[in-house]
Amino acid sequence: MSLTHQRVLIIGGSSGMGLASARRLVQAGADVFIAGRDEARLQAAVASLEGRAVGIAADFTDPEALQALMIRIGRLDHLVLAAAGAAAWGPFAQLPVEAVRTALNTKLLGYWQSLQAALPILRKDGSVVFLTGAASRVAMAGTAGLAAVNGGITQMAQTLAKELAPLRVNVVSPGLVDTPAYDGLPADAKAGMFAGAAKSLPVGRTGLADDIAQGVEMLLANHFATGVLLDIDGGARMPLRDPT
């Protein structure tokens, strides 16, 4: 299906994988709206897209802000949920339950109420794409909190693919992707983490935001895709070598 003049809202579209998705979609001819909490970052994102998208400041954890956002947009064909929630990293035994509760309240419930707010303006046979994370698909020490949040989103999405049909609901599960989310790390720590991860992956490199954006574009355009969980992780879920 052509995405030309399809109206797409990307919540979390001002940076990283959301912004890369916006870039691909405007190139495909879609009418793109990007929403984010940081006004300055949002305007920088719109400028980077050469004004071919509309930026609207909105907090996806605020139901009133979401309602105002949907009223302003008026009509949608597709919704992409790419916003980041609070992080819940760390060993299970030391991870405060408050950190997990905050992560659930931001990302999982933020996605939940974003879709609820969008339903009245979403085309009945349009689509939704949730971005989650590989921690819900690959068992890694220190990521139980992330697994709980993103695993919850995945199961919610696959249930909604049936409940909300003919609206199509799909999930993209990214692996380790070089985005601004990791900019807070010291440069040498970040470089070491990415280099080590690259060696462990069958593709020999970590991800780029556009790798994920390609998957988002495909799921929006493919009318036969619903209930899909698309791993774009460089093969992280496969062993690098044959154990035999």
pLDDT surpasses 80 at 37: yes
Residue ranges with strand state E in 24-69: 31-36, 53-57
Task: Map tokens 């980077």 to a residue.
Answer: 48
For the chain, what is the mean pLDDT? 92
Is 189 among the domain residues?
yes
| 3-class secondary structure, 37 | coil
**pLDDT tens track for 111-142:** 999 999 999 999 999 999 999 988 777 777 88
Sequential DSSP letters for 147-216: HHHHHHHHHHHHHHHHHTTTSEEEEEEE-SEESGGGTTS-HHHHHHHHHHHHHHSTTSS-EEHHHHHHHH
Q: Domain for residue 239, yes or no?
A: no
Q: Is residue 243 part of a domain?
A: no
Read off the pLDDT of each residue in 168-195 and give the average, rounded to a whole number.
86
**Token duo for residue 10:** 């990307």
The CATH number that applies at residue 131 is 3.40.50.720
- Compute the 3-state secondary structure of the chain and give helix, strand, coil in percent, each to the nearest 5: 45, 20, 35
- For the chain, give the percent of residues with pLDDT over 90: 74
237 within some domain: no
What is the domain range of residue 191?
7-230
Rounded to whole angstroms, the Cα distance separating 106 from 223 reads 30
**Position with higher pLDDT, 84 vs 138:** 84
Buried b (16+ CB within 10 A) or exposed e, 177-208: bbbeeeeeeeeeeeeeebeebeeebeeeebbe
**At residue 244, does pLDDT exceed 60?**
no
What pLDDT is attached to residue 239? 61
pTM listed for this prediction: 0.92
Q: Is 141 helix (H, G, I), strand (E, B) or coil?
A: coil
pLDDT at 229: 96
Is 2 within the bounds of a domain? Answer: no
pLDDT in tens, 104-113: 999 999 999 9
Is 188 within the bounds of a domain?
Answer: yes
Q: How many domains does the chain have?
A: 1
Domain-located, residue 18: yes
Comparing 8-17, 87-96, 126-135, 208-217, which segment has the lowest mean pLDDT? 87-96
pLDDT band at 196 (very low <50, low <70, confident <90, very high): confident
Amino acid at 210: D
Q: What is the pLDDT of residue 240?
A: 56
243 pLDDT above the threshold of 60: no
Residue 164 domain flag: yes
